[in-house]
Amino acid sequence: MERFSTGLRITDLNDFINPSQDCIKSVKTSKNGNVKSHSVADGSVFRKVEINLNDCLACSGCLTSAESVLINAQSLDPVYEVLDENKAYLEGSSIRAIKRIVVFSISPQSCVSLAVFYNYNFEMMMGKIAAFLKNIGVHYIFDTLFSRNFSLIKTAEEFITSFKTNKGRLPLLVSACPGFVCYAEKTQGSYIIPHLSTVKSPLLITGSLVKNFLAEKIGINKECVYHVSVMPCYDKKLEATRPDFYDPVNSSRDVDCVLTTEELQKLMGYYKVDLTVLPPASVDCFSDFASDAASHPKAHRFMKHEGGGSGGFCDFVLKYASQKLFGLAVNEVKMVALRNKDFRECLLQSDDGKVLLRFAVAYGFRNIQTILQRIKRNRCEYDFVEIMACPFGCLNGGGQLRHQSLDAVNDAYERLPSISPLEMHSALQLLDDWKSFQGSKAMNRMLHTQYSSLEGRDDALRAVQW
DSSP notation for 116-149: HHHT--HHHHHHHHHHHHHHTT--EEEEHHHHHH
pLDDT of residue 27: 43
Q: Chain centroid to CA 419: how far?
A: 21
> What per-residue confidence (pLDDT) applies to 256?
95
Q: Tell me which residue of 214, 226, 220, 225 sits closest to 290, measured CA to CA.
A: 214
Tell me, what's the pLDDT at 22? 46
Which class for 32: exposed (0-12), middle (13-18), buried (19 or more C-beta within 10 A)?
exposed
Predicted confidence at residue 300, as pLDDT, reads: 59
User: Minimal CA–CA distance to 389: which of 135, 95, 181?
Assistant: 181
Q: How far is residue 417 from each of residues 117, 170, 310, 412, measured CA to CA in Å?
A: 21, 32, 16, 11
* Sequence spans of domains, the chain: 18-63, 66-453
**What DSSP letter does each residue of 257-282 carry, written as one string?**
EEEEHHHHHHHHHHTT--GGG----P
Note the pLDDT of residue 295. 59
Yes or no: say if 83 and 257 are a contact pair by the CB < 8 Å rule: no
Type of residue numbered 251: S
Task: Write down the pLDDT at residue 454.
Answer: 75
Check residue 55 and give its pLDDT.
Answer: 46
pLDDT value at residue 251: 83
- Strand ranges inside 364-408, DSSP E: 384-388
pLDDT at 33: 44
Residue 253: φ, ψ to 5°:
-100, 150
CATH of region 66-453: 3.40.50.1780
Residue-wise DSSP of 426-458: HHHHHHHHHHHHH-HHHHHHHHB----------
List the pLDDT tens digit at each of the 466 positions of the chain: 556 666 555 544 443 333 334 444 444 444 444 444 444 444 555 455 555 444 443 444 444 555 556 667 889 999 999 999 888 777 655 444 457 899 999 999 999 999 999 999 999 999 999 999 999 999 999 999 999 999 999 999 999 999 998 766 789 999 788 889 988 888 887 789 999 999 999 999 999 999 999 998 899 999 999 999 999 998 899 899 888 888 888 888 999 999 999 999 999 999 998 999 999 999 999 988 877 665 555 555 788 999 999 999 999 999 999 999 999 999 999 999 998 999 999 999 998 989 999 999 999 989 999 999 999 999 999 999 999 999 999 999 999 998 889 999 999 999 999 999 999 888 888 888 888 877 778 888 889 998 888 765 444 444 444 4
Q: Rounded to a whole number, what is the distance in angstroms from the first to the last CA of the chain?
A: 19
> How many residues are listed for the chain in this entry?
466
Residue 427 CA to residue 429 CA, distance in Å, equals 5
What's the per-residue H, E or C state across 188-223?
CHHHCHHHECCECCHHHHHHHHHHHHHHHHCCCCHH
Beta bridge partners of 172: 384
